[in-house]
Chains A and B, each alone.
Chain A
């Protein structure tokens, strides 16, 4: 099993930390993992993306151009990465602010309106966990309890009281993801 994922969006959306939690969870399930961020000025407010690879085998290249899954959180990232999906791959996107929607017919497209949902839950910071929950609904490669463990590892202790809220967000994401037929 090898799952090659790109997560892309704005800096501040929790792109890198979502990837980190996936990687932590993978480690707990004895998988090989790699987490390769875009870094530099891009980290500071512009677009951010991270490549996460989860595999049962030793990972060769941590830097790839073709992905099994693209988690897309803004228009620029959709424009940039839609064509980087392998045929049959999975694209998950948040519809917020999207004017040109996915067009490829040889991939599976899902929509999760996480921005809207996070607003409804009055906790914008759980946005990325809603997205992650949506992903896990379709590809349950990692277990929710390991994601919670991963959260504990990546969150400073003073935020551990927020973990139940994040768990709720994960579940919410699983509920609201919808398949888009093109």
Chain B
């Protein structure tokens, strides 16, 4: 049989421009095409890998689309009940203060059912990282209204658009936690362009350092998308994100150590 050129001929070290991070597992991601979760998972895996934290890291996954996060990153994981990840993380960090502890939560999980745990763990200055994915919708259950759904935005439970008189306003929980003395570093980023991916990575790297220094809660919001829930193509979704989400949820640092109130963490030392 004649030799033909196949894919194997191209997989050579000299041809590689992009490769899987060692800490990502071989499990196939279940996310929809264009979803920001996939990008965020990779970024977190890269950070853990590059910072040499695999044997230190304990992640807490939420209920929501990223419920199966523990299938994808090769570290120890705890799966929390809906909204309770910061409570788990509180105990983990207090009982294992040398570990790198983080939660990964969506907007429904963190800013609706888990508001109390979010506010109080930030207020106690618990020394872990909260990664907050805000895409303005409940993705996993099929596109219902979230606490962060924009005014007028349609969802399966706001089919005529979010009527703020009836359904309240989008909750800017990141702005709220930035006012709490327990938080040390609060920032809002996105992952919809390569430049934003790089900024997000820098933000997470800072959060890792701050946790090592026992500085208090670090809170990183990622304004993200939901092409399926928003009923858009990935490209349309990212455009819609820029035109609608970012004006309401502007990117940038909300609280940085230079302007922080130098509140010490309450963790027992």
Query: Within 8 Å by CB, do A and B touch in the complex?
Result: no
By a beta-carbon cutoff of 8 Å, the part of chain A in contact with chain B is none
